[in-house]
Chains A and B, each alone.
Chain A
Amino acid sequence: MFWRSIMYVPGNTPSMIQSSMIYGADAIVLDLEDSVEESEKDSARNLVSCALKMLDFSGTDVFVRTNSVDSKHFQRDLRAVAGTCIYGIRVPKVQKAQEIVYIDQSITEIENELSLPGGIIKFMVSIESALGVINIKEICQASTRLIGVAFGAEDFTYDMGVKRTKEGNELAFARSTLALTARAYGKIAIDCVFSDTKDPEGLRKDCEIARSFGMTGKSVIHPGQIEVVNKSFSPSDQEIGQARRVIELYKKLGCPGVFSFEGNMVDLPVLKKYQRIYELYGRDKGE
């Protein structure tokens, strides 16, 4: 599970849902929360549910962003999408470990009720407040079903009472904390949305910052952002070429415990990094 680009799709717009799988996003999130007005929550829920059952989403992993756990919609949202082709759900505005426990229990209940394989529905959470950032350690430890955390910068900066800027200094601590903690507990960390859809250079810089903290992917809100994000969170052609050569040499030498590659020592920890790149990018990849 390694997603560079994760695209939000408004859950109440049929035309966007039915073409969401063509843009090359590593994953998509069908949204029942912020892109859907209160009076239309039921429409969106049913639309997403029918879409999941009747359209072919192969080629991308699908998440559904439910409404937050304290809203009256959460249980219905979960129920509407459980047992479909989703990889999991994304739950917004999570602040405390007990919410994680609640989410995990809710999913377990539904899996049992629908006789689904246990653990098949994963979940991610969005951290969008100061308290959420502070509690990240407890949040990450609270469930093995939790696979990752995403950062929601708009609500976070609102909570903090600070201005959101393109340079993003105000987000540094939160990004770093989330990435660090997620990594420590084996979860992935997904960076926040870059709202300016007409500034690819600004987007690229934002991705660089997120990547430098150790985040491995980013949420996007428009198909036009996918190419930049995928590229930013992929190793460069050079790195891929290098990984390929390392693995070829490794195999040629009969898989030794340590060897020399272009003057540098490659032992197991170093080899694993190259292997990861090779597995994901270095093998026969049809662009």
Chain B
Amino acid sequence: MKSASCGRTKKGDVLITVSRIETEEVVINIKSTVKELYAREIERTVREELSRAGKTSMEITVDDYGALDFAIKARLITALQRLEETGDDKNVLA
């Protein structure tokens, strides 16, 4: 699977799409109803989780509608799990 996503484009939620890329970098695209105020924080949450999960070659697209940190983190975790979807049963939550 090339990419996977999780979440909803509704108030208080976020749709996160993750895909593997060739280069060794993390590219984050953020679209948010609160971009001016919280884009920095959204990016920080995404980078932190990717770092914790050991992901270094990813493109993440965030389509945010005012989701709080816990929701952004959870949707990202699920999207990454779905991408992994190889029948691996190990739970990737800390």
Contact = CB atoms under 8 A, between A and B. Distances in A.
A/B touching: CB–CB < 8 A: yes
Interface string A19-50: 00000000000000000000000110011011
Interface in B55-86: 67-71, 73-75, 77-78, 81-82
B74 A51 contact: yes
A18 B93 contact: no
B12 A15 contact: yes
Interface string B4-25: 0011001111000000000000
Contact of B73 (A42, A54, A76): A54
Contacts of B10: 15
A49 B74 contact: yes
Contact of B70 (A14, A43, A79): A14
Contacts of A76: 91
Q: Which 4 A-B pairs have the closest CB atoms?
A: A15-B12, A14-B71, A50-B74, A54-B70
B12 A14 contact: yes
Interface residues of B, number: 20
Contacts of A13: 12-13
Given A14-B67, A42-B81, 18 more contacts: A14-B70, A14-B71, A14-B74, A18-B68, A18-B71, A43-B75, A46-B75, A46-B78, A46-B81, A46-B93, A47-B74, A47-B75, A49-B74, A49-B93, A50-B73, A50-B77, A53-B70, A54-B70
A80 interface: yes
Contacts of B82: 42
Contact of B91 (A47, A51, A53, A80): A80
A76 B74 CA distance: 15
Given A18-B68, A54-B69, A79-B91, A46 B11 contact: no
A55 interface: yes
9 contacts: A14-B13, A18-B12, A47-B78, A51-B70, A51-B74, A54-B70, A54-B73, A55-B70, A80-B93
Interface residues on A, range: 10 to 19
B63 to A, nearest CB: 14
Nearest to A53: B70
A16 to B, nearest CB: 8
B81 A50 contact: no
Contacts of B67: 14
Contact of B13 (A15, A54, A55): A15
Contacts of B12: 13-15, 18
A223 B73 CA distance: 27
